[in-house]
């Protein structure tokens, strides 16, 4: 979920909290390995859903800032797990750093049925790596749990607290990723007590959560922790979803300098200073890092602290132990199924976050991939920039320019990275294109131009019951398409979690079709999609002639 929604989220959550949106009843007791917990039984009269909810279960603790989390200490008294755990520090909210909590939702009575072994779906929220949470008010389980799966959603450390790195074993970076890894190990240890099957776990995420999901999908450390993954609007191949170790260290030391640390000292002293800094000061200064203008224009949206792909040079147990291309090739041989896709106008998110898009048309060479920026000659870069101009800006009126920019950002940030990954995993990847212009959209009212869009995050209300948008359940004619897409998506996602395939009529990309999620549903040829998008992106990446 993009951070631009945060004010809207807080307002809508406040409204929903004031109303009676659900009814709760007696405690539901589960004995975990760490101690007993008391969840609650919920009935939502609006959706008709009933389920057991266990909110704010501790899955980790951090001995010290910037250190790997460890499992929590055991407890003896009954622990009430009936409210969401604290959100990890973000934005201007100086909240507790004790934030490693997760939610578990099960069908009614599953935890008391000793023979129950339901498939488990573990969700990773988005938020540009610096905001968001697993709150049940936004990611309600009503739809998914109705299909006899268990839903788990965790908080993980964000921003500098989750992704800063000094390139040392004591501060290697990727703590947000290792938090998610720890939550997956918690699922392996504990989910059977809730009626879940630890051998049937699917990891799924959206936006930054989808990037993190795919990065863990590629990591050898996750062997045995989940059997399949779903990435919605985000892939590991997105070059703005990670940084090099060198760049990660630079950004961390700039932050340290802003906090008054002496960065000329050795790294252990810099780390000590960062650990002693006030968390509110870190939050206030973590975005004051000078990012390259080309990254800001090309779509980084102020993504300052990110996963570090080459931290394997220093970490004891690295998330990534080889290059991205090698990890993708290895994933193909492991055979874990993957669902991956994008929304047709994802690029609208760029207009919601900053004004750097206004500089895009004058700096089209910034859209050449990073790894080619330094190696290509000025003549080649000029030719590639002109090719981009001819593709996206054949007209000059303002509205056409906006439409072109939306297409450019959608292709650069979402479509091409998705195709780059999935075409190497085509035998085990089920691809989709979400194009439904429905009535449950979240961010559309944030886009200041009169064009119809299917934007970043539009699919989420069709999987989760959420405070972000009105989701009428009535079957009047105007609402039937919403209900149908909701039913289709929940069926496909949960069937994938149970079987490794979204259904017998949805084939892997190697069979030549994307599923186009719309009303009515349809398919689109892989070859057509690649001709429309990837051929151009590949030529740009390889600095090849486009004539």
Rg of the chain's alpha carbons, rounded to an integer?
23
Which residues have a Cβ under 8 Å from the Cβ of 423 and sit 6 or more positions away?
509, 530, 534
Which residues have a Cβ under 8 Å from the Cβ of 449 and sit 6 or more positions away?
351, 399, 402
**Is 202 in contact with 226 (CB distance < 8 Å)?**
yes
Q: Is 328 helix (H, G, I), strand (E, B) or coil?
A: helix
What distance in Å separates the CA atoms of residue 432 and residue 532, rounded to the nearest whole number? 15
Element of type H or E holding 101: strand 101-107
Taking CA 135 as the corner, what is the angle to CA 193 and CA 139, rounded to the nearest 5 degrees?
85
Cis peptide before 328 (omega within 30 of 0): no
Which residues have a Cβ under 8 Å from the Cβ of 376 and sit 6 or more positions away?
368, 384, 543
Q: Is 37 helix (H, G, I), strand (E, B) or coil?
A: strand
Return the residue matching tokens 């000793």: 114
Question: Which residues face 139 on adjacent strands?
Answer: none
What distance in Å separates the CA atoms of residue 135 and residue 351, rounded to the nearest whole number? 26
Provide the terminal-to-terminal Cα distance of the chain, rounded to the nearest Å.
39
**Is 56 in contact with 84 (CB distance < 8 Å)?**
yes
* Residue 184 phi, psi dihedral angles, 5° rounding: -65, -35
Q: How many other CB atoms sit within 10 Å of the CB of residue 227?
A: 18
Total length of the chain: 547
What distance in Å separates the CA atoms of residue 379 and residue 366, rounded to the nearest whole number? 14
What distance in Å separates the CA atoms of residue 298 and residue 456, rounded to the nearest whole number? 17
Q: Is 448 helix (H, G, I), strand (E, B) or coil?
A: coil
Catalytic machinery residues:
207, 346
**Is 412 in contact with 495 (CB distance < 8 Å)?**
no
The helix, strand and coil proportions of the chain, stated in percent and rounded to the nearest 5, come to 40, 20, 40
Element of type H or E holding 202: strand 196-206
Q: What is the bridge-based pairing of β-strands 23-31 and 513-517?
A: unpaired
Q: Read out DSSP for 523-536? A: EEEHHHHIIIIIHH
């Amino acid at each position: 979920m993009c951070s631009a929604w945060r004010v809207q989220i807080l307002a809508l959550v406040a409204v929903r909290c004031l109303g009676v949106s659900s009814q709760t009843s007696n405690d539901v007791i589960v004995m975990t390995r760490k101690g007993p917990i008391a969840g609650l039984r919920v009935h939502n009269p609006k959706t008709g859903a009933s389920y057991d909810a266990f909110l704010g279960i501790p899955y980790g603790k951090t001995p010290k800032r910037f250190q790997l989390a460890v499992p929590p200490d055991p407890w003896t008294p009954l622990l009430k797990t009936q409210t969401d755990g604290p959100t990890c520090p973000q934005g201007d909210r100086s909240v507790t750093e004790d934030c490693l909590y997760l939610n578990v939702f099960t069908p009614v009575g599953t935890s008391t049925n000793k023979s129950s072994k339901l498939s488990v779906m573990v969700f990773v929220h988005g938020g540009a790596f610096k905001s968001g949470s697993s709150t049940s008010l936004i990611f309600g389980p009503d739809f998914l749990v109705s299909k006899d799966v268990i839903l788990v959603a965790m908080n993980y450390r964000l921003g500098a607290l989750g992704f800063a790195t000094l390139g040392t074993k004591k501060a290697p970076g990727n703590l947000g990723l290792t938090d998610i890894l720890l939550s997956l190990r918690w699922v392996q240890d504990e989910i059977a007590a809730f009626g879940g099957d630890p051998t049937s776990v699917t990891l799924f995420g959206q936006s930054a959560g989808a990037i993190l999901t795919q990065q863990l999908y590629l990591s050898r450390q996750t062997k045995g922790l989940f059997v399949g993954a779903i990435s919605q609007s985000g892939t590991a191949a997105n070059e703005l979803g990670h940084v090099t170790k060198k760049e990660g260290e630079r950004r961390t030391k700039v932050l340290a300098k802003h906090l008054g640390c002496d960065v000329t000292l050795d790294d252990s002293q810099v780390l000590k200073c960062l650990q002693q800094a006030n968390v509110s000061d870190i939050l206030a200064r973590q975005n004051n890092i000078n990012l390259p203008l080309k990254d800001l224009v090309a779509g980084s949206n102020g993504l300052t602290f990110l996963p570090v792909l080459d931290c394997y040079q220093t970490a004891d147990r690295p998330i990534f132990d080889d290059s991205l291309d090698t990890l993708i090739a290895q994933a193909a041989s492991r055979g874990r199924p993957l669902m991956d896709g994008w929304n047709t106008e994802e690029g609208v998110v760029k207009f919601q976050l900053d004004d750097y898009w206004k500089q895009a048309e004058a700096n089209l060479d910034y859209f050449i991939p990073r790894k080619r920026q330094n190696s290509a000659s000025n003549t080649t870069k000029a030719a590639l920039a002109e090719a981009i101009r001819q593709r996206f800006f054949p007209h000059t009126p303002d509205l056409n320019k906006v439409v072109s920019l939306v297409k450019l950002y959608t292709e650069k940030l979402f479509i091409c990275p998705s195709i780059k990954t999935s075409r190497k995993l085509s035998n085990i990847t089920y691809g989709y294109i979400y194009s439904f212009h429905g009535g449950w959209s979240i961010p559309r009212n944030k886009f200041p131009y009169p064009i119809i869009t299917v934007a970043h995050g539009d699919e989420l209300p069709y999987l989760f019951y959420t405070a972000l948008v009105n989701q009428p359940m009535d079957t009047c004619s105007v609402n039937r398409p919403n209900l149908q897409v909701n039913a289709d998506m929940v069926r496909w996602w949960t069937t994938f979690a149970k079987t490794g395939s979204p259904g017998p009529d949805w084939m892997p990309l190697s069979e030549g079709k994307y599923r186009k999620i719309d009303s009515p549903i349809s398919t689109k040829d892989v070859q057509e999609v690649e001709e429309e998008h990837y051929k151009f992106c590949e030529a740009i990446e390889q600095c090849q002639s486009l004539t």
